[in-house]
Chain A
């Protein structure tokens, strides 16, 4: 599994209220909600994002509310991966549970610039900044989590176990 695309760079403590504002949460339709992804801090994101693109952020990405709509809208927009210095714990869980790959890598999150072309190999955890030619290595997922992602999400993995 891999993804390649241009990057959108964000600061520390990006919270789920700016990823998908609660004023839209009277709906749980992912496509409808995805039109508002990031709009409170970046109105350009939904206009410019293409399939496979990558978000790069600082510490504590996804802090705040437990709304699973947050990783869901990021994934629905076509985002292939998020690289951050760290993730808030509920967001981390939710991203894995819905099958949105996320990687913690401080060096990559610091050095990769907005708009760089980046290639990520999820099997090895290697992140390559194609624009600068520099590579980084992220912590791979533990086997338990790899299994959830391989099955396509938490419920699919539970189904698999029951077979």
Chain B
């Protein structure tokens, strides 16, 4: 029977010749991931179940990224619980302050995840690694605990929606505009329980950072995973990084999809998701006269090197508008280092922005940029729910790094004219 790319990876990891949509399977895991918020809950479950050792110390990844360097005593205690567990079980992929990065930028960068993998992570944006041609999905802490104990997880094999990409993006657009446009079209539950499989000749024009960003927000459409085929760019990206040998899977030519949506990349425009759902999208050019208080450029969605470069290109000859706080957060230490080496860090400061070490901080309303009542932020993050970045009467507009940096300069959500 013909299978989608996701189904092929799942079949291989379940030790089956074939699987079909709706089938319940038990699959072998290549990486089990957790962070400083979800891992303590998983450790508690792991201990309650009386498990003594993790199934494989090289296949568990624990990244302290949400509230580090710790913002208060309670978060410090949670990090300590993770640190002690990692030490006790000799976890080889444990990332603490100084080595950490935002998990979904860090694991691909460090080669911990690779093509053909089957990955679960106790973080909803674990779907990011589909950009490498892996099956990767977010789960909760109990699934993480079971995964750490057994190296296995149960899945219901998903059906898929195919997104056939053609053409190439305009220069002022990036992967963020593509995924926001898609979510605007299909809605926040438009791919519920399904795979989003991206195919077509347009794929080759997208950078790896674009692909990571697109897969990252698959969960914002309710999807189980997002996935890209492996091409020359993927292979080049993985070279010298991957700890394990990548395995390339391809969808069968006659695989069944619930539907196919054709996306002409050349028609994509800078897109903004207005409060309070990622599906409330509008072309950025239609939003006028909305005053903003803060801009955040960073997160697991848009804290990568290309995102920093985009911000730099806007800010190098401009300054942040009076009354706007512009917070730039490179997603990993390596990206931060690149920003320093290339002189972008200095340019950000000169433009009036502030630069932080890697953290999820403001994206989820943790710290490092919380909004007061009535304040408004343009962010390159992934969610704009009520109260997501602070007060329940604050607002978050989701946008690309280009759009966000431009708004930091303008002080308003308004069309940005290159000058």
Contact = CB atoms under 8 A, between A and B. Distances in A.
B38 A155 contact: no
A51 B133 CA distance: 46
Interface residues of A, number: 40
Nearest to A29: B74
A159 to B, nearest CB: 6
B391 to A, nearest CB: 10
A37 to B, nearest CB: 14
Contact of B192 (A15, A71, A89, A93): A89
B192 A155 contact: no
B386 A17 contact: yes
A68 B189 CA distance: 20
Interface string A63-78: 1111111011000000
Output the residue of A17, A21, A28, A154 with the most chain B CB within 10 A.
A28
A98 interface: yes
Give the interface residue-count category, chain B: 35 or more
B142 A26 contact: no
B189 A86 contact: yes
A66 B188 contact: no
A153 interface: yes
A40 B387 contact: yes
B277 interface: yes
A66 B140 contact: yes
B72 interface: yes
Contacts of B48: 155
A154 B71 CA distance: 33
Contact of B143 (A22, A67, A93): A93
Given A13-B188, A158-B49, A66 B385 contact: no
A156 B277 CA distance: 36
B364 A66 contact: no
Given A21-B365, A67-B37, A155-B45, A86 B192 contact: yes
Given A59-B189, A60-B222, A155 B386 contact: no
A60 B75 CA distance: 30
B142 A28 contact: no
Interface in A68-99: 68-69, 71-72, 86, 88-90, 93-94, 97-98
Interface of B: 24, 37-38, 40-41, 44-46, 48-50, 66-67, 71-72, 74-75, 78, 121-124, 126, 138-143, 145-146, 149-150, 154, 188-189, 192-193, 219, 222, 224, 277, 364-366, 370, 383, 385-388, 392
7 contacts: A23-B370, A26-B74, A63-B222, A98-B142, A156-B49, A159-B49, A159-B50
